[in-house]
Amino acid sequence: MTSSSTRAINDRIIWVDCEMTGLDKQRDALVEIAVLVTDADLNILGDGVDVVIKPPAESLEGMDPFVVNMHTVSGLLEELDGGMTLEQAQAQCLEYVRQYCPEPGKAPLAGNSVGTDRVFLDRDVPEFASWLSYRTIDVSSFKELAKRWFPRVYYNIPAKHGGHRALADIRESIQELKYYREVLLVDEPGPTTAQAREAARSLELREEPTMPVPAATTPVAHVPWLDRASHRGWLEGAGLELLHFASESVREDGGFAWLDEQGAPDLSRPSELWLTCRMTHSFALGHLLGHPDFGRFADHGLASLRGVFRDQEHGGWYSSVAAGRPVDDSKQAYAHAFVVLAAASGLAAGRPGAKELLDEALEVLDEKFFDETAGMSVDSFDREFGECEPYRGINSNMHTVEALLAAADVTGQRRWLDRAVGIATRAIDEFARLNDWALPEHYDVE
């Protein structure tokens, strides 16, 4: 074997995705393992492996309703009874991996948030787990860095449609890493050796002389659990519960309904524009967070905004509708700002029709609601945009800032960022400054 072919084999990557009955490593069981091997350029080698494993009855009985629903929608649940044993699954995974990675412990484990997968692999298929290097390529690390450093990259991640099936999820993780390679990393052939060494020298942390640390003049509150993985996991779980709760609010006549404490829709109340936009925004975020099932709810909201809520005659959007007709036909800046937010989030999530909706909503917000003289948004009009209410409010301007920031992010157009900064500057540097930094909410034209 030549040195170049040896390097090629040693550069290969083992991609793994697992589905479980839950995330409790003492109680829950592996139910699906998928494996793909790629070369260094992320080209898939062979057909891969996707095995379904029959779990113990007690693991099935203890599944959380959310997990039951997830595996039902994906079709995995009905396959479990015919699944194989862990020993059979391990043998198939090893047979495939050994073809392309003949030496154990060399190829890194790769995937999205694969730390949890490794825990279950170590427990249930230890021989296969030992074939993996201790090193890990976690695509979610790129995602988290993009979110902090390059938000436009984060909000334009390729759409996912894997539906919580392991092999499809791996393929999408590979595509996601290709995306980060293209938009985050430097162009080939990369820096010269001299450039790399200079960068390393400039960033090297050298030992500093020991100096006494001055006591803090003001005690800083410390919340030790705030950054723990367990807390972040709890937050993600709570968010998913809320999204599933909200998914019951879809109205067949358009928009989203109010829900009572038990999650039952209240169809006696009309569908509100602001509520529909907020729900659409939330479901788009759910999709962006890696839960593609929520994309269809965002699509319903966007379709409602392009349909039943849209005033085909005078432009803009009705404040509330029911049974396909307007209930409140006034045009409110508060709600129109949320149309922009919903469309921007839909565009970030790659949902159909979102770009056209965003273009139209920004045009209405710009031409109808923005007062160039005041540098702020007016509050409301009648249906024809003929009569403007004399009241002015900070609330609608606050949400206009929120919407314009989202629009600037997904479009890359500086004018929307400048507009948002202008509104915020007047509210803070003028109104709040003159009021001992308390911000009044209600104003008139003057």
Question: Residue holding tokens 């891969």?
Answer: 48
List the catalytic residue out of 134, 318, 391, 443: 134
Q: Please check whether residue 348 is in contact with residue 288, taking contact to mean a CB–CB distance below 8 angstroms.
A: yes
Q: What value, to the nearest 5°, has the Cα angle with vertex 416 and ends 157 and 368? A: 120
Q: What angle do CA 274, 275, 279 make, to 5 degrees?
A: 120
Q: Please tell me the distance from the alpha carbon of residue 6 to that of residue 4, in angstroms, as a whole number.
A: 5
Token digits of residue 141:
């690390």
End-to-end CA, the chain: 83
Burial tier of 437 (Cβ tally within 10 Å: 0-12, 13-18, 19+) = exposed
Question: Which residues are registered as beta bridge partners of 82?
Answer: none
* β-bridge partners, 97: none
In 3-state terms, what secondary structure has residue 36? strand
State the Cα–Cα distance between residues 217 and 28, nearest whole angstrom: 49
* 8 A C-beta contact, residue 136 and residue 108: yes
Task: Give the whole-angstrom CA distance, residue 396 versus residue 305.
Answer: 19
Task: Tell me if residue 334 is catalytic.
Answer: no
Look at residues 149, 182, 212, 164 and name the one whose alpha carbon lies nearest to residue 42: 182
By annotation, the residues acting in catalysis are 134
